Amino acid sequence: MVAPRIQNSGAGTVYVPELRLPAPVIPTPEGEEAKQPEAEVARQVAVVQSVLAAIKGTPDRVFNNQQINAISDDAMNTSLYNMLHVLVLVSGTSPVATLTVVSAEGLDVAVPDPNGVKTITTSTAYLVAVPITAIKLKLSGISGSFTAGQGFTVIVTPFVGAGVQAGFYDYRSTAVLHRNAVAAVDKLTPPVAPTLAGVTVAGGSLAFGTSYYVAVVAANRYGETTTTVSGATAPGGANNALRATIAQITNAEYYDLFLSTDTAPKHVLRVTEAQRAAGGQCTVVETYAAGGTPGAIDIGIPGTGIQTSAVQFTSNNAFTPALVTPVSCAGASRAHLLVKLAITDMRSAPSLIIVPFLLSQLSGDYYQGKSQTVSVVGGAGQSLMQDFELDVDGASGLVCLIDAIAGQGAAATIYIETA
């Protein structure tokens, strides 16, 4: 078997193995004894057998009547092959499972083939391109009823076929409309300054003749919003606390409160949305106590923590990826973001920044990727429609959020192709 060659077929790049078999044995004239030594015949047979072995590997029974989720113990060496034949035999009542062909190189990432992740409900056979050097198989999401001797049996056979060269893949999936005419950022709305009133609480220590500045920041697990500081307010009379009435911010998980005599007040307390809604008190720094009135927190002590002038509060980082429907990246190594910015006219400069978030297979959380600034109409070659490539490495899902958008009538539309 000689080195393979790459042949361009017009429909894509095809990996074609080129075989060179030994010359055939020429028959001897009738009545004459064959002159070819037995050793030569044996050599030619061995060559043919080695060629066939190079084309098709040994079948491997990876799972046998498997009834629970599992990943194969041993990796299969696919460095000499580019395809995998997968045979699945299924028995039981209402059996369902997901069979994934993953990289065995410590990545646990599905191979970039449409059949790399497959839902199995009945016996089936199919092919998977394996442009990597070693693979494992993973059965997950198994459900159904099984008796002894039933379950999922998986037999895989590597082979060389008209497919992809190892380490290479060149197809894109059909584009999926991900975001359509989005005109606003995908973040929590920053809160307005809280409404303040002097109150008396047990343990309060604010001075009635001293003015204090108060601010609130809305937050979720991804970050904080910006903030607006209230005007200087004194508790007044014999009061020893300020009641800060805080408006609910949709989808906020937490609220950080700031109070001190500084124009950029210091952090005093974090409350959850449930605590904000119920109302509460704070007379010890960073300590919440029940009480007060619903929708308000009675603060009776100056804060000592970070100030609102800190860099963390100069931009809104409270992204909301869970509010956007993700695009599946199962079996893909990268994604192409086809971004279009539509504007009404050029009376103001258009701009767009998008931020990808990848859905973790393990934790189920979203993790921010690298921001993509779409430079539009700012110079030669800057189109309103652009293609960005992003590594996704088999993440469960991908969402593209709007970090910033500007321009007259600006609206962003995003299609996603995986590969």
Distance CA 177, CA 338 (A): 9
Structure tokens that stand for 290 in this block: 């029940």
Per-residue pLDDT band for 129 (boundaries 50, 70, 90) equals: confident
Pairing of strands 70-71, 93-103: unpaired
- Percentage of the chain surpassing pLDDT 90? 60
The count of residues in the chain is 419
Whole-structure pTM value: 0.62
Six-digit token string for 148: 């002894």
* pLDDT at residue 32 is higher than 60: no
Name 366's bridge partners: 359
Helices and strands: H and E segment counts in the chain: 2, 30
Distance CA 268, CA 281 (A): 11
Q: 176-186+319-418 architecture in CATH?
A: Sandwich (2.60)
> Please, which residues have CB within 8 angstroms of residue 340's CB and are 6 or more apart in sequence?
384, 385, 412, 413, 414
Q: How confident is the model at residue 18 (pLDDT cuts 50, 70, 90)?
A: very low
Q: Where are the beta strands (DSSP E) in 26-121?
A: 60-66, 70-71, 76-77, 83-91, 93-103, 117-120
Tokens of 405: 């958008």
Q: Phi and psi at residue 234, in whole multiples of 5°?
A: -105, 145
Q: In 130-168, where do the E strands start and end?
A: 134-145, 151-159
Q: At 145, give phi and psi (nearest 5°).
A: -115, 130
Closest CA to 316 of 209, 148, 191, 417: 191
| Predicted pLDDT at 170 | 46
- Please report the DSSP string for 284-328 in residue order: ETTEEEE-S-TTEEEE-S---S-BTTSGGGSS---B-GGGSPPEE
Please compute the mean of the pLDDT values over residues 338-365 and round it to a whole number: 90
Beta bridge partners of 376: none
Query: Where along the chain do its domains lie?
Result: 1-170, 176-186+319-418, 195-313
Tokens of 107: 């990545």
Q: Evaluate whether 286 touches 266 at the Cβ level (below 8 Å).
A: no
CA distance from start to end of the chain: 31
3-class SS of residue 42:
helix
Q: Is 396 exposed, middle or buried (0-12, 13-18, 19+ CB in 10 A)?
A: middle
- Decide if pLDDT at 1 tops 60: no
Asked if residue 12 has pLDDT above 80, the reply is no
pLDDT at 331 over 60: yes
CA dist 403 → 218, 334, 347, 349, 368 (Å): 17, 21, 22, 16, 12
Q: Would you say residue 223 has pLDDT above 50? A: yes
CATH code: domain 1-170 is 2.60.120
The larger pLDDT score, comparing residue 77 to residue 282, is at 282
Inform me whether the pLDDT recorded for 20 exceeds 60: no
The tokens of 114 are what?
């449409």
Mean pLDDT across the stretch 19-33?
A: 50
